[in-house]
Structure 1
Amino acid sequence: MSSEFNRMGISDPEVETPVPKHKVSPQLNRWSRARAMRSGRKLGGSSCKVSVAERNREVGRPLGSSVSISSSGSEEETVGKAIYMVSDGTGWTAEQSVKTALGQFEHCLLDRGCPVNTHLFSGVDDVERLIQIIKQASKEGAMLIYTLADPSMSESAKQACKIWNIPSTDILSPITEAISSHLGITPSGIPRGAPGRRNSYLGEDYFRRIEAIEFTIKQDDGAMPENLHKAEIILTGVSRTGKTPLSTYLAHKGYKIANVPIVMGIELPKTLFEVDQRKVFGLTINPNVLRSIRRERAKSLGFCDEIKSNYSEIDYVRQDLEYATSIYALNPVWPVIDITAKAIEETAAVILRLYHDRKRKCSMPRISKRY
């Protein structure tokens, strides 16, 4: 086994070798200090001398447990599992993948008090730092999720996790290899945003997103209706149907978004009906849910009782939604999306699918006008 470590340039895990202070990862060090303070342990030097796993072994606790000190001075144990996310870039892919996957365990994580601690290590571009993180993961009993474009870095992570018996998942390599095989092209192995890479963070996509965000901010809440023809997607709906946050989310993906509120007694701008109607989308919501949202909004804005009752009472809410429904009925080309049980990401996914299907003229047959 020692020969395997030597070939990779990794010290044997059974032999503790001191790491020079100047080579300790600042991010790892900060995290270790935070864990130490939460566990009530004293700090020695720039990093913790005793890991949580070692402390747990001393007192017979399972791996993944952490200890906090209550106000009375007694120890309170919180059993949780750690997930390390390692990336040679920003770590966005790894972070979003883990976040999406954890969504499948909400029934356990929330209802049964089974905490999970996630820790992101971004910009990991040398093997030495990678190994430091993996060694720490081994001590903490953590799982490792990594997105490393450099094949040698990815292989080092794989082998180190195998040697130290760390559960791990390589997110990037399988899909990269599959696409490489399909296209018949060898991947570059260069991380996104690396110096000299053509599609860097300051490339065409970056500036397109900035332009889209600036446009979307200026077009928020029906402002500047004369510019609706410049928008790629137009959202309509009554107050508090999530038009602004949805617009912002889509703008960060590089789409120029305008949103137009539907208000009883106020005519919609004529330009809304003069633009390409295939880029207009209507939003609706369950009246009871909308009533709750509006009540909280009215409370936060300090509305007086008269305005509050008009704005958030169920009868007025229903009239508002019925008025919007009548407008949607007069414009059957507009898809109507019910956002009641949807996250912003889900609503955005529906809109983008319909938007691109229409652009390519390959729309699937529609069972219902509502999505």
Structure 2
Amino acid sequence: MLYSVLTGLLCGAALGFVMQRGRFCLTGGFRDMYIAKDNRMFYSLLLAIAVQAVGVYALISFGIFQFTAGTLSILPAIIGAFIFGIGIILAGGCATGTWYRAGEGLVGSWIALAGYMLMATVMRTGPLGWIQSQAYSNTNGTNSIAETLGVNVWIIVSIFVAIVAFIIIRELKKPKVKIPGLKPKKTGIAHILFEKRWHPFFTAILIGVIATAAWPLSAATGRMFGLGVTTPSANILQYLVTGDVSFINWGVFLVLGVLLGSLFAAKMSGEFRFRMPDVKTGLNSFSGGLLMGFGATLAGGCSIGNGLVMTAMMTWSGWITLACMILGTWTASYFVFVRPLKKAEAKAAQAVTA
């Protein structure tokens, strides 16, 4: 247990620290792809996936641990991921983003986290548990892309890495836009860690390395998976309600570490402060959290478990759910941001011509 506590907390703290300082927000990234036509965060996600894919399959090749992709259930992956995408817009952050923003003192994220943990628990062992078991009663063959195509997984990984490298090099060649900032108050390593604006690609590489390290650290405790948020979040609530210590594993300490790492980063950078949402935002956050918990559990993972980890393992479920999460995010963004703006603009135009 001591090993699980130490390595889980350290790995989670590293992830929370990096995500907070690098402002690695997939919700904002997916939203900006649609609204602002800005793909930088999505490209950063692809880079993190590529780094993890190479690292994890190298570890597997050396016999450090084993991985089985399992079988694919398409329908729950599509429906669950789409609902999850809608939920993260209402909640103001994805599953991991909610944990790290809670560490910044954002009360709305705590509210979203409560809804997320509650619904994930209800979907796993509560009255809605039958939905997941029924949804996964039918499968659609192997979940491994390489097995489906009948090729070595390294061929898939190599092609993906080449595509990502091309995208990243193209982006780095674009003219840099200088953003004026305040005069630095810190110097040396303190300035770099707690004050300097991190490049999203640098953040992505660090996240890819942390995601890679999570696999052997977790596997050593008998948990054969890397970074994951939904099941550990549900396990925390299940333990608090039942007192059953079997719910406490490496993943639980991982998500608690994310909170602590983000809290430390926010405090040291001067970004921590309690921010209370208004009633409407609070209700949206809780509703979004409920949708996140439902969707992530049905889809078998959140934007990290599926969108970062299972994509790196080159599984169908990972890439299908990532695409559907983005579509869900875009759908919610239209109704939450774009449509109200268009109505306001139309109303203003009518007022001018009246």
Asked if these proteins are the same fold (TM beyond 0.5), I'd say: no
TM value normalised by structure 1:
0.18
Q: Which has the larger radius of gyration?
A: 1
TM value normalised by structure 2:
0.19
Choose between structure 1 and 2: higher helix proportion. 2
Choose between structure 1 and 2: higher strand proportion. 1
